Amino acid sequence: MAFATVRGNRLSYEDHGAGRPLVFLHGWGTSGRVWDAQVADLMADHRVITLDWRGCGRSDRPATGYSIAEVTLDVLEFLDVMGLERPVLIGSSIAGAFLVEAALAAPDRLGAIVPVDAGVHHFHGMREHTDRLLADLRTDRAGTLADVVPQWYRPGASTARIDRTVREILDATTLIDALVVDQAGYDPRPRLGGLTVPTHFLHGELDTEVPLHVPLECTGLIPGARMTVVEGAGHMAQQDRPARFTGALRHALGAAPR
């Protein structure tokens, strides 16, 4: 475990292996530990970095900055602080939006992006749903997460894994809830035609949080983009089917220009 000072905050990260740099970003409220299986495999022939973004994991919990735009700025400065040359960014769930924004803002600084079970525009306009969720989180955060988080995993997923995810989100600052609001107003589709960074979506076949039509639509809007479905996996595809997911990720990395 190490820390990098990024835009005045200390962000926790882990850095393993050597070779082509891969930077992994977790989803809402979790941490870089969601990528443990991928780190163990890919560190044999890549430099693998997992980052806890602001408010999550072991990173600082500043009072502000919980928006897609602000976290994207954190990510781009982190790449500079680490001296990474054209890394591949891999991001789960809401982190897919960070990847898209980073690629649109700084295409020359990235080698490729791999959004994983990314909502992208799916939650746009769902303010009524968002307001209900936020009200439930304020009233009973632990109980609400205990109901919601199991839906992120395939049927029959490990109870211990689900419980660990709930604990991670409970340990994160409640300020991350602002990202739920921000996502309800986020729709990058009009700009996706200008995304020039090689893009490969990976998406769980059984994802009920973000239906398959969402990455399919985005794939059609981004020039040259590709998509791979991870069979038997839900919204947390990297944990649901780690071997299948890592194989699909290796294939995507092999197809991405260096």
Domain chopping of the chain, boundaries:
2-255
Contact 13, 4 (CB under 8 A): yes
Please enumerate in sequence order all residues whose Cβ is within 8 A of that of 237, keeping only pairs 6 or more positions apart, or say none.
Answer: 116, 117, 202, 203, 204, 207, 230, 245
Amino acid 1: pLDDT: 82
Mean pLDDT of the chain: 96
| Domain 2-255: CATH superfamily, name plus number | Alpha/Beta hydrolase fold, catalytic domain (3.40.50.1820)
Q: What is the pLDDT of residue 127?
A: 85
Nearest-angstrom CA–CA distance, 149 and 257: 35
- Can you give the pLDDT at residue 48? 98
Q: Give the Cα separation of 55 and 99 in Å (integer).
A: 18
Residue numbers in the chain where pLDDT is lower than 50:
none
Residue 255, pLDDT score: 72
Prediction pTM value: 0.97
Residue 106: per-residue pLDDT: 98
**The predicted structure's pLDDT at residue 33:** 97
Give the pLDDT of residue 124. Answer: 86
